[in-house]
Structure 1
Amino acid sequence: FFDDFHHMGATLQSYLMAYPVFGHQTEPTSESWYNDKWDKMRAAGNMKDSYEFNMGIGPLKNVTENIFPDNFFWKDVATHPNYDEFWQKRAIINHLKDVDHAVMTVGGWFDAEDLYGPLNIYKNVERNNPNNKNNTIVMGPWSHGNWARERGKQMVNHIHFGDSLSTFYQKNIETPFFEHHLKGKKNPQLPEAYMFDTGLKEWNQFTQWPPQDAEVTFSFGKNGKLLVNKAGDKNVKHTYISDPMKPVPFRSEVTPVTFTPRAYMTDDQRHASRRPDVLTFQTEVLENDMRLAGEIQANLEVILKDITDADFIVKVIDVYPGDMENGEHTPDHVTLAGYQQLVRAETFRGRFRNDFSKPEPFKEGKKTEVNFPLQDILHTFKKGHRIMIQIHSTWFPYIDRNPQKYVDNIFEAKESDFTVGQVTILGSSSVSVGENNGIEMQLPKVKQ
C-alpha cells in the first residue's frame, strides 16, 4: 500500500501499463499474455503523451469500465482504496520479528517503485530485533534494481552520479558480506549504513541510520523565502487554487506512457515553480555546504475552501547556480544553469491524515494538521546552490487526480465530483530533517 501502486494513500495512475502483467491468470505460455491487454490502452488515446493520454481517460471509474474490466488485480485495488484488511494481510513489514540472521537491505535513492520498502525494512528489523548486530543498509544513487547491473555511467534522467558505482557496490560491499556470512571469511568490517551522498556524489559510512546530524527545520516566509531554523510567521497565509482539471505535470518534458515512471525523481522543477498553483520557497544562496541527512517530516497546517478533500505534494529541491556549466554527460537539450533538481518528494492523500484505514473529509474553513514523512535523504547542498521546497495538490499523471469533493471511493468518482478549490498553507507549517524526528507511521494492527 505504500510502495509501487500507492504512495501514502494516493494511487499511482502512471502504473496503468503494469496491471496487465499482474492481473490475469494464464496457462503456461511462451507468448506475452499482456500485449492484447495493452491494445485496449493504446486504443484509449495518444500514448506518446502521458499527460494527454491520462487526462483523456477521465475518472478512474472509466479505467474499470473501459480498459481493465476483466483485470482482477485492478479490481482488488479499486475496491480496496483504504488500508483495510486486504492490504494489512499483505504487509510484509509487519512480520519482521525474530530475525536473528544477517540482513543487508539494498535500495536506490531514486527507486521510483520501492523507496519506502528498503528504508522501512531496515528500520523495522532494527526496531524489532535489538539483539541482531548484523542488520545493515546500503542506499546508492540507483533507480529500481540498478545495483544489480552495471551500465558504466550512472545516470538518473539528466543527472550523472558517477561511473561503475554498481561494480563498486558488488565488489566492496555485497561480495565481502556474503563471503563472511556464508563462507566464514574474515569480517570485512562493513559499517551499519553505507550510504551515497547524492549532492557530493560520494559514498559515506555511518555507525547508525539515521545519523546523529543536527536537526534542520525549514519554514515558509513572505515572498517565497525559505527560512532555515527560524519560525515562520503564524499570521502569514500561503494560498493557491487547486484545479483537478488542470493538474500540475510531474515531468518537465512531454513523455510517453511507460511501464513505470523513473526519470522524474531527479527532474528539473522549473516547469512547476512557474505555475500559480505551486507554492515555491527557496533560501538565499548558500555560503557553505549544507548536508541534510536522515528522515524528513512535513508538518502542514492547512485550510480548505470550497473542497472537502485534497492531496499534498511536498518536494525538496537543489537549485543549481545560474552559471552552472553542463557536464560531460549532460544531454544536449538540457541546461544545468539554474536547474531545479528534485532530490526528494512525497505525496499524501489528505483524507488519511488520522488513519490510513479510516478516511475522513476535511471541514471547510477549519485549520487542520496534515503530517507525513517524505522518506529519508542524504544530500549535501553545495555552496553557491539554494534549497527549495515546493508544495502543491496535483501531480499528474504520476498520481491520480483527487476529485477534492470527498467521495467514499475515488475509483468510483464521477466527472461531476471534480471540484476546484482553494488551499491555504499557514505560516506555522514546517518541514524538518534530522535524527530527532522519530517518525513511525501508525498503521492498524494486522488481523490474524
Structure 2
Amino acid sequence: MPFWQKRNILPHLNNIKPAVLTVGGWFDAEDLYGPLNIYKTIEKTSPGAKNTIIMGPWGHGDWAGEKGKSTHNHIYFGDSISTFYQKDIERNFFAFYLKDAGKNELPEAYMFDTGKKQWEKFEQWPPEHIPPVQLYFGQNGRLSVNKPLDEKAVFAYTSDPAKPVPYRSQTEGLTFTPRAFMSDDQREASRRPDVLTFETDTLADAVTIAGEILAKLKVAMSGTDGDFIVKLIDVYPNNHPNYEHNAKNIVMGGYQQLVRSEVFRGRFRNSFSNPEPFVPGQVTDVNVPLQDILHTFKKGHRIMIQVHSTWFPYIDRNPQKYVENIYKADEKDFIKS
C-alpha cells in the first residue's frame, strides 16, 4: 500500500459517536482537503452523528488567533472574524458538550461566503437550495454561465518548462508553505500566451457557487505528459477601492482574485497508483476536481477561468516527456508541448 494511503485517516472514521466540530480555512494552503473530507466522510459513514463543519476566510490555523482586521493577502474580509468564531461558535460548542451549559444552536454548516464577506448557515453541506452552476468556454476568451457555447471550439497554447508561469503576482522569498497565493491577483497570468483565459461579461446578477467543482477538460498534446492548472477567479470592477491594509503598489480596481485552484498531474488521470503517458495528438479526458468553495460573484464583477500547465516554483516542473520518475529526468526530457 502506498504511504499516502497508509496515512489516510478517512477510512477510520466509522461509527462516530461523539459530537464533531471540524474547522477549516478556505485559504488553507497546507490542509484544505482535510476538514472538508473529514466532514463529508462522517456524513457518509455515521449519519446519526452530530457532525458540524465551520469554514472561514482563514489560512492554516488562523482561526486560533486574532489580528483585528481579518485579511488574506490583499483581500479584507471584515473585523474580528476569528473572535466571533472563538466566542460564538467554539466556546458554545464545548460548553454544551463538555459542561452541559447553554444550548447547541449551531447549524450543520457555518460557512463564510468569501464573495459576500459574510457568514451563512446551512442544514447540510453542500446546500440543496443553491443550484449548481455550469461554466462553458467559447471563442475569443468567452465564458458562459449555464449556456453551452460551441462544443467544437479548440483552444491551444504552448507550455515551455524553461519559461514557467509564476505562482505569485509578486516576488516571494523561501517559505515553509506559501500561503498568499491562495487569493492572489491573476492579472499577470492572464496576459501570458501560455495561459488560456476565459471571462464572462460583467454580471447583471450575482452568481453563487457552493460546494465541489469539477473541471472537465478534453486535451491533446504533442508531448506525452503534462500538468493542468485550473483556476476560478473573481474579477473586480475597475472602480473597486483599495483596502486600508493594501500596500501602495496594490490596485484593487480590476483585481483578479483567485477563488480556487487545483493542479492535476496528467499521468494520474485514470489512477493515482498507476500513472500512464499520453498518446501525442490523441484527445483525452482529464477531469480536474477543485475543492469546495462558498463564493458569491457580485453584480458588476466577472467570472474568469484560467488553464495552464506550469506554476513554478510552487509546483515542480513537469518535463512534458513521460519518464518513470520526473525527479530523475534529464535536461533533454524537458520539452515544449
Question: Would you call these one fold, judging by a TM-score over 0.5?
Answer: yes
Match for residue 181 of structure 1 among 97, 100, 121: 97
CA–CA separation in structure 2 for the residues paired with 1:396 and 1:199: 27
Q: Percent identity of the aligned residues? A: 63
Match for residue 98 of structure 1 among 15, 22, 43: 15
Q: Please report how far the alpha carbon of residue 324 of structure 1 lies from its aligned counterpart in structure 2 after TM superposition.
A: 1.4
Task: Extract unaligned runs of 5+ from structure 2.
Answer: none
Match for residue 281 of structure 1 among 180, 198, 205: 198
Is structure 2 residue 73 aligned with structure 1 residue 157?
yes
1:65-87 superposed Cα distances (whole Å, 9 cap, x missing partner): xxxxxxxxxxxxxxxxxxx5222
CA–CA separation in structure 2 for the residues paired with 1:186 and 1:253: 48
CA–CA separation in structure 2 for the residues paired with 1:396 and 1:354: 25
Count matched residues.
336
Q: Please report how far the alpha carbon of residue 293 of structure 1 lies from its aligned counterpart in structure 2 after TM superposition.
A: 0.9
1:160/1:330 contact within 8 Å kept: no
TM-score by length of 1: 0.74
User: Secondary structure at the residue paired with 2:157?
Assistant: strand
Residue aligning to 1:228: 145
User: Secondary structure at the residue paired with 1:295?
Assistant: strand
CA–CA separation in structure 2 for the residues paired with 1:128 and 1:298: 27
CA–CA separation in structure 2 for the residues paired with 1:361 and 1:208: 40
1:157-211 superposed Cα distances (whole Å, 9 cap, x missing partner): 1111111111000000001100111111233210000000001110000000011
CA–CA separation in structure 2 for the residues paired with 1:382 and 1:85: 43
TM-score by length of 2: 0.98
Match for residue 214 of structure 1 among 131, 135, 158: 131
User: Secondary structure at the residue paired with 2:3?
Assistant: helix
1:285/1:386 contact within 8 Å kept: yes
CA–CA separation in structure 2 for the residues paired with 1:288 and 1:228: 11
CA–CA separation in structure 1 for the residues paired with 2:152 and 2:56: 41
Residue aligning to 1:427: none
CA–CA separation in structure 2 for the residues paired with 1:146 and 1:168: 13
Is structure 2 residue 43 aligned with structure 1 residue 126?
yes
CA–CA separation in structure 1 for the residues paired with 2:70 and 2:274: 42
1:277-303 superposed Cα distances (whole Å, 9 cap, x missing partner): 000000000011111111111111111
Q: Please report how far the alpha carbon of residue 234 of structure 1 lies from its aligned counterpart in structure 2 after TM superposition.
A: 2.1
Residue aligning to 2:164: 247
CA–CA separation in structure 1 for the residues paired with 2:83 and 2:147: 43
Q: Please report how far the alpha carbon of residue 411 of structure 1 lies from its aligned counterpart in structure 2 after TM superposition.
A: 1.7
Q: Please report how far the alpha carbon of residue 416 of structure 1 lies from its aligned counterpart in structure 2 after TM superposition.
A: 1.5
Is structure 2 residue 303 aligned with structure 1 residue 303?
no
The AA in structure 2 aligned to 1:390 is Q
User: Secondary structure at the residue paired with 1:238?
Assistant: coil
1:335-388 superposed Cα distances (whole Å, 9 cap, x missing partner): 011110101101101111111011000111111111121000101111111000
Is structure 2 residue 250 aligned with structure 1 residue 334?
yes
Alignment of 1:102-113 (within 5 A): 102-113=19-30
2:75/2:243 contact within 8 Å kept: no
CA RMSD of aligned residues (A): 0.9
User: Secondary structure at the residue paired with 1:118?
Assistant: helix
Compare relative contact order (CA 8 Å, sep 6+) and give the higher one, 1 or 2.
1
User: Secondary structure at the residue paired with 2:92?
Assistant: helix
- Structure 1 outlier segments of 4+, above 3 Å: none
Q: Please report how far the alpha carbon of residue 125 of structure 1 lies from its aligned counterpart in structure 2 after TM superposition.
A: 1.0
Q: Please report how far the alpha carbon of residue 327 of structure 1 lies from its aligned counterpart in structure 2 after TM superposition.
A: 2.3
2:230/2:288 contact within 8 Å kept: no
1:191-249 superposed Cα distances (whole Å, 9 cap, x missing partner): 00000000111000000001111111001001000011122312210000001111000
CA–CA separation in structure 1 for the residues paired with 2:11 and 2:287: 22
Match for residue 348 of structure 1 among 254, 257, 264: 264
